[in-house]
Amino acid sequence: MAPRNRTRLASFGLRLSLVLGRLAVGLLLAEGLARLLGPPLPGFVLDATLTVYEPRLYTRHPTRITTLSPHVDVTIQAIEYATRVRTDRLGLRGAPPDHGDLRIAFIGDSFTLGVQVPEDQTFAEQIAARLSRATQRDTVALNAGVDGYGVLQSVDRLEELLRATRLTHAVLTVYMGNDLRDDTRLDERRAAMDQPPSPEAEAMLDPLDTMRRKSSWARRSRLYAWIQVVRAVRARSTDFRIQEYADELAVFVDPAARDAQLPATARGLDRFGQVCHTHQLRCTVALAPPAWVVDPSRRSATLGAFDLPVDGADPESVARALTAAAPANLTVVDLSAELRSARASQPLYLTFDPHWNAAGHSVTADILTREARW
């Protein structure tokens, strides 16, 4: 090779190395900023688009749509956590013993199940441990939470549990973020159980291996995760999974939407009260707020992403309506105020998942140990 050509090649290689080096430094800086700050966007939308559910954990149910399978031991791998989830013969999380002076059924949706944290860090297990120490009575937590349940499904699960084992207490967690909508649409969801997805919906769903690959990339790179958040928010007008979040937020902004969805959940609360009365259970309803109600810094990002007015939101309205709808024999504990206070010193919710982290479960256990009906 001629000396001039070698010089040109060396010069090109040097320039290319400088460009690649600057690009690498830029990407590292962007990754660092994404991990440190993150853009003002609702990161929880990735729960709808990148969560890969473990099919062995669930069994089809004729009326409740799904339930947890018995005798399962799996690892749930998500962007922010990897946890072991095991079930017993009744499809309860963990392996609760058949004995116990106090036997507390914890019913509700994914906030009760708590796959985001290990078994012993769920608020159910923490409450049982604290009551055992405080009362010197053997206390057992029966975690009967199931992803996607509304109040009606949860109470049906409680009745099933009562036919299989002895209980002394029950705690129903109502997630104010979507339980009203889930109860209102229960018949519609049941009707859709055996129907294939629409062509439009199917076109939006990535193949399972693609979702797993994207989730794996998001675990490794917060920059990639935030890019996926931006894409999901931009698709909110066409993606039914993101549109559901707008429906859930509407009950805090539009009184008419709240009043339209409340009756189904109110029926579930009445039924819960009747079951507790019939079986002489001491029962509590725990009202769990979404993250933006607890963390003011998330409010504008969450509501603004769905074109909802921040000033028009009433974060306490759903709790007031549910408290008024609950029958007199139920103790109702709104977790919002104390979670909001605890949030001043530490995060209580995950970023790319709408659920509590370990600290959120611990604070919830503190509140309910003190305020629930034992």
Tell me what pLDDT residue 128 has. Answer: 98
Check pLDDT > 80 for residue 96.
yes
Q: What are phi and psi of 215, to 5 degrees?
A: -65, -40
Helix axes 222-234, 208-220, angle to 10 degrees: 130
Tell me what pLDDT residue 205 has. Answer: 65
**How close are the terminal C-alpha atoms of the chain, in Å?**
87
Tell me what pLDDT residue 4 has. Answer: 58
pLDDT digits (tens, 9 = 90+) for 13-30: 556 565 555 555 554 565
State the Cα–Cα distance between residues 329 and 273, nearest whole angstrom. 6
Tell me what pLDDT residue 222 has. Answer: 86
**What residues pair up with 139 in beta bridges, in sequence order?**
102
Strand pairing class (139-143; 102-107): parallel
Mean per-residue pLDDT, 88-95? 96
Mean per-residue pLDDT, 343-372? 96
Check pLDDT > 60 for residue 176.
yes
CB 351 within 8 A of CB 43: yes
Mean per-residue pLDDT, 18-43? 61
Strand pairing class (282-288; 82-86): unpaired
Residues 6+ apart with CB under 8 A from 164: 90
Tell me what pLDDT residue 287 has. Answer: 98
Q: CA of 189: how far to CAs of 48, 153, 193, 292, in Å?
A: 17, 12, 6, 27
Check pLDDT > 60 for residue 37.
yes
pLDDT digits (tens, 9 = 90+) for 110-165: 999 999 999 999 999 999 999 999 999 999 999 999 999 999 999 999 999 999 99
State the Cα–Cα distance between residues 108 and 189, nearest whole angstrom. 17
CB 41 within 8 A of CB 245: no
State the Cα–Cα distance between residues 225 and 229, nearest whole angstrom. 6
Check pLDDT > 90 for residue 100.
yes
State the Cα–Cα distance between residues 205 and 110, nearest whole angstrom. 22
Helix axes 123-135, 358-371, angle to 10 degrees: 40
Check pLDDT > 80 for residue 291.
yes
CB 116 within 8 A of CB 51: no
Q: CA of 11: how far to CAs of 24, 25, 317, 374, in Å?
A: 20, 21, 67, 78
Tell me what pLDDT residue 132 has. Answer: 96
Mean per-residue pLDDT, 191-207? 70
Quick one: pLDDT band at residue 188, thresholds 50, 70, 90?
very high
Higher pLDDT residue, 240 or 42?
42
Residues 6+ apart with CB under 8 A from 8: none
